[in-house]
Chain A
Amino acid sequence: MTTRLGTLLLADARLPVGGHTYSAGLEPALADGLTVDRIPDYIAARLRTVGLTETAASVLAHRAAGGASGPDGLGIDAGALADVHDALLARSPSAPLRDISGLLGRGLVRLASRLWPEHPAVKALRNLDRSPQRPVALGVVAAVMGSSEDETARVALYDDAQTVASAALKLAPVDPVDAAGWVLGSEGVIAEVAAEALAVRDADDMPARTAPQIEGWSLEQQNRTRRIFVA
């Protein structure tokens, strides 16, 4: 199957949606003493916890948006989309992380509203919340761009791993080639977690895996004045 350009764009940090402000929790983790050699473990831990929960939300949002309908598609189920959003909020106990997710989600909404202002799924996303959680926005935008749900799951997980790896380059003495190796090394975990996320049937069935340590770090980061990343 050919990969859609939209999927490649969603995986590209050059897509202007504000991703450069986010370290996926790595900055406070390093501040609390996480060592560089443990960063690959940190990536895997995220993928298996918040990564699974958020990716399941992206997959469900993708389905609620009518699947890979492309820019002219219909079939949006606004009720199902709202259910996914509520279910994700209920599984995101850290207030600062909900806020950041909303900010990143707003970046995607801004992009989608400019590119497809009249698309029913984009309208439903805008009606959901001024700052919808990023995984839900990602699922909708992926559907509008014509990505399959499998691609959507993989891009969500890849982006999480790559966000940590590229933030590491700004925060620690890391060889950029090693960071690329960490991302490639997460292939197996990403495949497993993507399969789990794709098997989720509906919002009631959504996993609620969280990472209490990452949530704790996010609260510390919120109160820090010397920081490079917002979270």
Chain B
Amino acid sequence: MPEQQNTDTAAANTSEGRRAMRLGVAGPVGTGKSTLIATLCRELAEQISMAVVTNDIYTDEDARLLRAAGVLPVERIHAVETGACPHTAIRDDVTPNLLAVEDMEADFAPLDLVVVESGGDNLTATFSPALADAQIFCLDVAGGGDVARKGGPGIERADLLVVNKTDLAPHVGVDAERMVADATESRGGLPVLALSQQDDVSIKALASWVLQVLEDHRAGIHVPRDPGPMAPHTHADGTTHTHEDADHGHEHG
């Protein structure tokens, strides 16, 4: 029962008393994850106590961008090296990230929210529930209007899907509304947010979503979900299924 294990893991990670909610932000390189996090800090840092852990692949660029943005005290932004394994660091060996999160929680207690930024990877990278209580998957219109349709675990099952930089849509020949509609269709009712730095309403909506999840987390009604490594998929014989049933193993070419 993967769900049960995940719940146990999250519980085991809980130190005495209230621990911060851990929010993962994943998505391909260049889709605006760092800017999204800077935006969250700007919107929320006066209301709640926050810290950020970044997973840059080769530099501490993301951490520096956040520090330079001046939205959080620099000591609340910590870069974790991932040995060129950004996917491993958020999924199959979360140890270095968890240690960094725990250090932040200890150093700045009581902390309300720790945001963990993935180093940026392909469409299959999602956070293990052992690291993140909730996760945002971030796409942008400049990556192509068809990406939302292509699907993948993050796109289909992250707690929130952000379609970023919608203001650029006319310049890159993408129909942003169509892209959001495609994404919405593939997510079975999970939220999709069209985000633009030029659109204050969308920024407020992002901040409100995070505050709502935080409230649910504290109330104990938010259950970490695992988007999983494998999207539901179709076989040549026309059957479609997911891999939630562990007995149903088969080869994927």
Contact = CB atoms under 8 A, between A and B. Distances in A.
B163 to A, nearest CB: 31
A110 interface: yes
Interface in A170-201: 170
Which of B57, B81, B89, B98 has the most chain A CB atoms inside 10 A of its CB?
B81
Interface residues of A, number: 23
Which of A17, A18, A23, A230 has the most chain B CB atoms inside 10 A of its CB?
A18
Contacts of B84: 170, 228
Contacts of B88: 20
B60 interface: yes
Contacts of A229: 81, 83
Given A225-B59, A225-B60, A107 B81 contact: no
Given A17-B93, A167-B83, A107 B99 contact: yes
A107 B95 contact: yes
Contact of A228 (B57, B64, B98, B99): B57
Nearest to A226: B59
Interface string B80-120: 11111100110011111011000000000000000000000
A20 B85 contact: yes
Given A20-B83, A20-B85, A228 B93 contact: no
B96 A18 contact: yes
Contacts of B58: 226-228
B12 interface: yes
Contact of A227 (B81, B93, B99): B81
Interface of A: 14, 16-23, 103, 106-107, 110-111, 114, 167, 170, 225-230
